[in-house]
Structure 1
C-alpha cells in the first residue's frame, strides 16, 4: 500500500505553525517533507514541531533545506528543480505515489510557493492545499484557518485537451482519440465547456481516424454525430454544416460506388497524408494503387469493361497471345489496363505512355515493386512520389477536367480545429 507524503514550504512569519499543523491534522500523512530556508529552519521549524508534538528525528518527517546559493529565494526555476528532485527522491524512499501526495504552499516566500506549486504540477501530485482565514496584518489569525484545495488533474486536463487538439491538427487522429478518451475519465465540474470540447474532439477524432483508414461507413456515422450532437461547437471551431454535408455526400458516393472519381481522389489525398508524416512506403503504395485504380475507372466509365473479368474477345490482337485456348475472361494487370486504353484511343491511355517517356513514370512504378511492402527491400526515394503525383495530376485533368478533379480533391481535405476558439 502506498504511503501518503505531504510537502510544505516554510517561510518566516507569525502563526505559520498553526496553518501547517491544521493541514497535517487534516490529511494525516505518513511522512512530511519541509522545504526550508536557513532562517525558517532555525526559527520556525521548531515551532511547527512543537505544535505537532514531534521531534526533528521523528520517523514521520525529514527536511530539505534550501541550498545556500538561494539566499534571495527569487529564482523560481532553480527552486522548482530542487523541489521536484526532492519529491522524486521522497517517493522512492517511502514507496509513495504522487497520486497520494499533498502539497501545501501556505507558508514561504512567493518564489518558494510558486516553485512548489509548479513542481507539484509537473510531478503529478493530486492535491495542492492552501490555508486561509481571517487575517491581521496579512497573517491568518490563529483558530480561523480553513483549507482551500486545488486538484491539478483538472488543470492538467486543460493542457491535455490542448495537446489532443494539436495532435488532431497534425493528423495523428489515433493519439488525439486516446487523449480524448483519457480526458473523459477526469471530472471537471467547474469547466462544463471543457467537457463539451473534449466530446467534440472524441467524435471528430473517431470520424477522421475511420476516414483515414478507408472505413467509410464508420466515418459517416461519426460525421452524422458531429451534426446532431456537436452542431454549435463544431460549426464554431471545426467546420460548419455546408462543408460537413458536402463531405458526407462525397463519402456516400464512395460507399455506394466501388468505381468512382471520389475514391480515386481519396487514394491520392491519403497518400499525401502518409507522405507528410514521412511514411514514404505507405504513400507510394497508395499512389501506385491510384494509378492502377484510375485505369480501372477509365475502362469502366468509357467502355463498360472490368479489369477483373475482362472479355478475351475485347483484347487487342497484340495482347491475346498469352490467353489460353477457350478462355473467355481474363484479368488485366496495371500495364495491360493502360495499354488497352491507349489502343482504344482513350486520351488518358495515350497520356500514360507520353508520361512514361517524359517523366520516367515506369521507373517510379517499379520503385513500388522493389520496396519492402511489395517484392523487394529498397527504401523509397521521395522523388518517385513526386513523379507519381505529377502523373496522376496530369492524367486526372485529361480524364475528368481540372475543375472537377480539384473540386473532388478538396472534399478529401481534413479540417483543423481552431484551437484558440476551442479553449476560450
Structure 2
C-alpha cells in the first residue's frame, strides 16, 4: 500500500499530476485555510475524472501557513492521527511526500517534519527550462510536468546522525550512542547501509554491556559482528572515518574478552575493573564512581591473592590458615557472631594486606612500599558513596589510581582500551 502526503497551493495542476503519477492508495493533503476547498472542489473531481476512482483521503489544515514552527508541529501531531483514520497501522509516516504545492512555508515544513522518517520525496518539475514560464524561471507549464522521485534522503545524510552517535561513544555514552544508531537503522532504506549501521549498533551495544560488566553479552555481540564490520572497511572515508583502526582495536578487545571467566575473580577481571575506573574518571570525570571502582580493585587484589595462593577467604577465613603470628589477634578483632550462634572471621582490605605482608607476599610488600596509601584509602572511605559525605575529586582519585597500578606493577598503558571513532570535526 502506497501513502502520499502532499501540500496544496494555489495551483492544483501539480497536485493532480503527482497523484496520477505516484498512484497512491491513500492520500493526506496538507492545506492552508485558502487552499482547503481546492481539495474537494478541484483536485478530487479531477482525479476521479482521470482514473474513475477516488483514493481514501484525509485533510490536515495548518492554523498559520506563514509560521514554519506551527506547520511542523501540526504535521507531526496530525499525520499519525490521519493515518489511523485511514486504517494505516504498519508504518509511522507516509511512503511518499510531495512538497511541490503550497507556499514556501508549507513546503519547507512538509520536508522538515518528514525528515524524521524514511520516505521518498516527490517534486513536480520540468525536464528543462523550456517547460517553465518566465524564460525558465517561473512555474511549470501545464502539460510539461515531470515527476522527480527522490529516494530516501536518509541514505545520503545518515552520516551526520552517525557522527553524533560516534561522538557519544567516544564520551563513554554507549547506551545513548546505540539508541541513535537504532533510530538511524529505522530511517534508512539502502540495504547495505542498513546492515552496516545495524552491525555497528550491535557493536556499540556490546561495549555498553561490557562497560556494565556483562562480559558474556559483550563478547557475543562483538564476535558476531566482527566479520560484517570488517567487510565494510571500504566505506570508512564515506560514512565512518577510521572504521579500520576501530575494528583492529575491537579485535584486540575480543581476544581480551576470551581470556575472561566472568563468573570467577581473576587478574584479567581486576585489570578490566581498573580500566572501567579509568574511563569513569578520565573521560566522564565521574571521580566518585571511578574511586569506588578503583578502591574495589585494591581490595580485590588482596582478596584474590589470599584465596588463590593461601586458601584464605576474607569473608569467612579459617583460623588455622591465618599466620600464627597474627592468628589470635585476628580472631579477637574480626570474629563476627552469626544468627545461628556460630562465628566467622571477616576482614577488609588493610587487614588483608597485613596478612600478605606477614606472609612476605609480593603484593603485601608493594602495598607497604606505597607512601600515604592508607590515608588515600581513608579518603575514599570518607567519600559520599562510601561512609562519609566528602566527594572524591580528581586529585584524590589520581592518588588511588596510581596506588592500584603500583600494587599490580603495571602502567596505565597496559590497561585494556576501548576503541574510539575518528571524527571530522
Query: TM-score, length-normalised on structure 2?
Result: 0.68
Picking from 283, 287, 291, the partner of 1:280 is: 287
Task: Please state if 1:18 is matched with 2:7.
Answer: no
Structure 2 match to 1:33: 31
CA distance in 2, matches of 1:302, 1:161: 49
SS of structure 1 residue aligned to 2:123: strand
CA distance in 2, matches of 1:84, 1:355: 63
CA distance in 2, matches of 1:136, 1:215: 62
CA distance in 1, matches of 2:245, 2:206: 13
Structure 1 match to 2:209: 210
Q: How does 1:256-335 map to 2 (within 5 A)?
A: 258-275=264-281, 276-300=283-307, 303=310, 305-308=312-315, 310-313=317-320, 314-323=322-331, 330-335=345-350
CA distance in 2, matches of 1:146, 1:302: 81
Per-residue CA distance 1:268-296 (angstroms, 9 max, x = gap):
11112223324433222211110101212
Query: Greater CA deviation, 304-313 or 292-301?
Result: 304-313
The structural deviation recorded for 1:143 is 2.6
Structure 2 match to 1:145: 145
SS of structure 2 residue aligned to 1:137: helix
Picking from 406, 411, 423, the partner of 1:394 is: 406
Q: 1:63 to 1:173 in 2, by over 3 A?
A: closer
Picking from 392, 396, 407, the partner of 1:384 is: 396
Do the aligned partners of 1:312 and 1:328 also contact (CA within 8 Å) in 2? no
Q: 1:49 to 1:392 in 2, by over 3 A?
A: same
Structure 1 match to 2:186: 185
CA distance in 1, matches of 2:248, 2:284: 29
The structural deviation recorded for 1:382 is 3.9
CA RMSD of aligned residues (A): 4.5
The structural deviation recorded for 1:213 is 1.7
Do the aligned partners of 1:132 and 1:147 also contact (CA within 8 Å) in 2? yes
The structural deviation recorded for 1:201 is 1.2
Query: Greater CA deviation, 159-168 or 298-307?
Result: 298-307
Q: 1:9 to 1:255 in 2, by over 3 A?
A: farther
The structural deviation recorded for 1:29 is 5.4
Q: 1:328 to 1:167 in 2, by over 3 A?
A: same
SS of structure 1 residue aligned to 2:232: helix
CA distance in 1, matches of 2:233, 2:312: 43
Do the aligned partners of 1:83 and 1:119 also contact (CA within 8 Å) in 2? no
The structural deviation recorded for 1:333 is 1.8
The structural deviation recorded for 1:304 is 5.9
Structure 2 match to 1:88: 73
Q: 1:137 to 1:64 in 2, by over 3 A?
A: farther
CA distance in 2, matches of 1:419, 1:193: 22
Structure 1 match to 2:177: 176
The runs of 5 or more residues in structure 2 that have no matched partner are: 46-58, 84-91, 133-139, 237-242, 336-341
Per-residue CA distance 1:315-356 (angstroms, 9 max, x = gap):
35345235279x997444211101112223335324434546
Q: 1:83 to 1:294 in 2, by over 3 A?
A: same
Structure 1 match to 2:125: 132
CA distance in 2, matches of 1:307, 1:278: 32
Structure 2 match to 1:78: none
Structure 1 match to 2:376: 361
CA distance in 2, matches of 1:255, 1:33: 63
Do the aligned partners of 2:250 and 2:419 also contact (CA within 8 Å) in 1? no
CA distance in 2, matches of 1:32, 1:246: 54
CA distance in 1, matches of 2:188, 2:6: 24
Query: Greater CA deviation, 247-256 or 199-208?
Result: 247-256
Do the aligned partners of 2:273 and 2:297 also contact (CA within 8 Å) in 1? yes
Q: How many residues align?
A: 372
Structure 2 match to 1:106: 100
Task: Please state if 1:416 is matched with 2:410.
Answer: no
Picking from 334, 356, 361, the partner of 1:341 is: 356
SS of structure 2 residue aligned to 1:214: coil
The structural deviation recorded for 1:184 is 3.6
CA distance in 2, matches of 1:348, 1:303: 13
CA distance in 2, matches of 1:367, 1:349: 24
